Structure 1
């Protein structure tokens, strides 16, 4: 009986890892709705996939914009600030790319959307493990 209980527990724990939900957050950028999803939850040091969905006020997905993600970690004692950027490519009605976090800790993420000559942006915070 103990073997069955142990096997069931291991199966449940492994199943939870397989079906772990990606990190998702939604905010507004001007009149646009922006949904950012990180491939890993929590995000980890190194390369992490990112998907950004942009919708107009009517809920229609926008695919004719330029989307750039700027991510940074503020300066800490003995360490200068870190600033990076990534231009996302349109794939299947979303903007996709990779962010490469160089160390664990709090990161600031700014999603910038350029459309019709105007730029709007929204800010997110992320804790990298």
Structure 2
């Protein structure tokens, strides 16, 4: 059951958490080096995703998948699995060249509903 899609165009927001909302849920995406938020860069990036429910609480039990691609090359989509640690869903993604990237996040909630959000960045 697909019940919501949202998008955030954050091409010029670097070194900050990128946020977007879908159906009252907030998704926050950040690129990290340890506990520090850094700018996305060419190569391997540590990514952290926080999902907050409609009452303002973090969701620790969603099934989260991340896919990423360059808009100019939509056939080449990479995917990454996440691990929940330190109140966030964490993974590594390889942004293997400079340019624009779309990062799509899908999360299945405990009630079975699926939400999708999209972030656009430029490196």
* Fold conserved between structures, TM > 0.5: yes
Largest Rg, 1 or 2: 1
- Give, in whole Å, the separation in 2 of the partners of 1:63 and 1:83: 26
Is 1:93 the counterpart of 2:94 in the alignment? no
Q: Report the TM-score, using the length of structure 1 for normalisation.
A: 0.74
> What is residue 69 of structure 2 aligned with on the other side?
72
Runs of 4+ displaced beyond 4 Å = none
- The structure richer in strand per residue is 2
Equivalent position of 2:78 in the other structure: 84
Deviation at 1:89, TM superposition (A): 0.8
Work out whether residues 69 and 110 of structure 1, in 8 Å CA contact, stay in contact via their aligned partners in 2. Answer: yes
The structure, 1 or 2, with the larger RCO (C-alpha pairs under 8 Å, 6+ apart) is 2
Structure with a larger share of its residues in helix: 1
Structure 2 gaps, min length 5: 1-13
In the alignment, structure 1 segments of 5+ residues that lack a partner are: 1-20
1:25 aligns with 2:18: yes
Q: Normalising to structure 2: TM-score of the pair?
A: 0.77
What is the total number of aligned residue pairs between the two structures?
105
